[in-house]
Structure 1
């Protein structure tokens, strides 16, 4: 593959494995589970893994998994996406300097046992000034891209207006972004990404990744992470959905809110990759099953569930969460 050739992104799988969950933020995550999750993903056709130095020891666990699996899956068979710039919760823990860009890329390659990175993103760009992104970090990343150390350059974050502004600046400067990763902006309780996709395309962005169809653990039947930033009204609406699905579908049809949430997100064809966090083999298989069934139902049944009772509950869930379809939370948070 030629150095800096965007065609490498054309081979990305439609579902990517989010490895931030290896950090333990969503529950225990052993090294053995990480290996099995990655093996299952690769065996099933997923070829993108995503991580960050900010996610505790995620890069280390992922690196050990990739090394252990190298006899089965050589480095050329998958894409590594990692990030830089964010190294803690508070704004003081961000460093977008050119020197830190160089050091961060080197550290990530060492942890993941590779001499190049397929995608490197400036992490949570809304926490710093736009100047730090476009005048410091991105120029240095493009230097590394020219050397072949980084194959594709991009940004990640939550507020879509910020992501779009940076993409437009890069286009104006004649160096458009290869990748933009947006999280929690296309799911059952928020669909704001849909209106931004064409604008990001117009700004020259080749690949758009939609992360977290489960909204960082909110759209599941399990307990919502204490740190989740959604307001109480959204959490209460989700709890109503969980109660409805658990009462009517779980035992009779084996359908959960998480499956419905993934089906909804996977139905959006506007993005190039849906990034799903999965700690275990079983979670990987559930996500892939949801994606495959979504594609099949779109072709054979107009995107609906075949069972009328399941479809009726699905419509009720969407109706309960519809008032929040444009809801976003503040980022950075007030205490950052």
Structure 2
């Protein structure tokens, strides 16, 4: 299944592949398995590959380069930039034009390509007017090394300012049964501007798969996120169990139901569930075959209305980087 990315963007796979987890974000890396998974996605016609220059200091881009060697035209490369890293995790954000111009050249080298399809500002830098950052990105488009510009985790106000400088093709932001903050302001704003939505974490970092039964099942950075801790974990698990029951009735997995719900929210939405295993890639892609009726959507809404989830998306120190 292909969908148009924004009113002026290209046709891309409705279910793409988020590659972050291939570089140690969730458990051990498996480079060989990850390369095979990326290549399988391309074989199946699912061309949207999402990465960032800060995923394990460029490791993720190098991994993708290995996987798409000789297949560049089959892949749509979505690359995020502007998030610095530190030994303790995500560091400050930079939207400085000089930083952007330098970062893109390094990405091109690691990806072994002469252009990036969608280049996305990962976060809005509060110290640099977004218009200046978008101005630098538009220069890259004029040079032909970037084809489309994206934003991530931006407020409706910042999106409008950015779009006044150069067309914005896509907004990448967390959107799932668990995370629906964008429905109030951001989603209406991007629809008014003809900007496509790239929904990340449609499975809420795997929790909606139903595979996690206790907090001890999480051995990676998810254990530091409020939704997966203590009492919040068990409250949220009750919601997942209800979704699992409904998925059984629909003859699909809980993951497929969750992804199908995201896709059902509009033809202008694509989603990028992450995995490093072919098994889960194929399961996620099969979500396109799950047909949700009006009654199904009403049932899901009754089980999991907006705002019902316990706990915030990120630890408090990271929440101020969102919706800028």
Q: TM-score range by the shorter chain?
A: 0.7 to 0.9
d(CA) in 1 for partners of 2:132, 2:196: 22
Q: Residues 126-205 of structure 1: matches in 2 within 5 Å?
A: 128-129=125-126, 132=128, 134-157=130-153, 162-171=154-163, 173-183=164-174, 185=175, 187-195=176-184, 196-202=186-192, 204-205=193-194
Aligned partner of 2:9 in structure 1 is: 9
Structure 2: runs of 5+ lacking an equivalent:
1-5
Provide the residue aligned with 1:3 in structure 2.
Answer: none
CA contact (8 A) 1:190 1:327 kept: no
What TM-score results when the alignment is normalised by the length of structure 2? 0.80
Residue in 2 aligned with 1:108? Answer: 107
Q: Secondary structure at the match of 2:162?
A: helix
Cα gap change, 1:285 to 1:228, in 2 (>3 Å): same
1:269-288 correspondence to structure 2 within 5 Å: 269-288=266-285
Q: TM-score, normalised by structure 1?
A: 0.77
Tell me, yes or no, if the aligned pair for 2:19 and 2:50 is still in contact at 8 Å. yes
Following superposition, the deviation at residue 180 of structure 1 comes to 1.1
Pairs aligned (count): 300
RMSD: 3.2
Aligned to 2:234: 236
The C-alpha deviation readout for 1:245-285, integer Å capped at 9, x for no partner, is 77x68999985432332232232225331111121111110
Per-residue Cα deviation, 1:21-74 (whole angstroms, up to 9, x for no partner): 11121222311111211122111121110100222122121121112xx2xx3x
1:210 corresponding residue in structure 2: 199
1:1-336 aligned within 5 A: 9-56=9-56, 57-67=59-69, 70=70, 73=71, 75-88=72-85, 92-125=91-124, 128-129=125-126, 132=128, 134-157=130-153, 162-171=154-163, 173-183=164-174, 185=175, 187-195=176-184, 196-202=186-192, 204-220=193-209, 221-222=211-212, 223-224=217-218, 225-230=222-227, 232=229, 234-242=232-240, 255-293=252-290, 297-298=291-292, 304=296, 315=299, 319-322=302-305, 324-325=307-308, 329=312, 333-334=316-317
Q: Which residues of structure 1 form unaligned runs of 5+?
A: 1-5, 305-310
Give the Cα–Cα distance (whole angstroms) in 2 for the partners of residues 164 and 14 of structure 1.
Answer: 24
- Structure 1 residues 92, 18: CA separation in 2 closer, same or farther (over 3 Å shift)? closer
Please identify which structure carries the higher strand content: 2
Give the whole-Å Cα distance in 2 for the aligned partners of 1:155 and 1:253: 35
Please give the alpha-carbon distance, in whole angstroms, between the structure 2 residues aligned to 1:237 and 1:208: 29
More helix per residue: 1 or 2? 1
2-side partners of 1:30 and 1:278: how far apart?
11
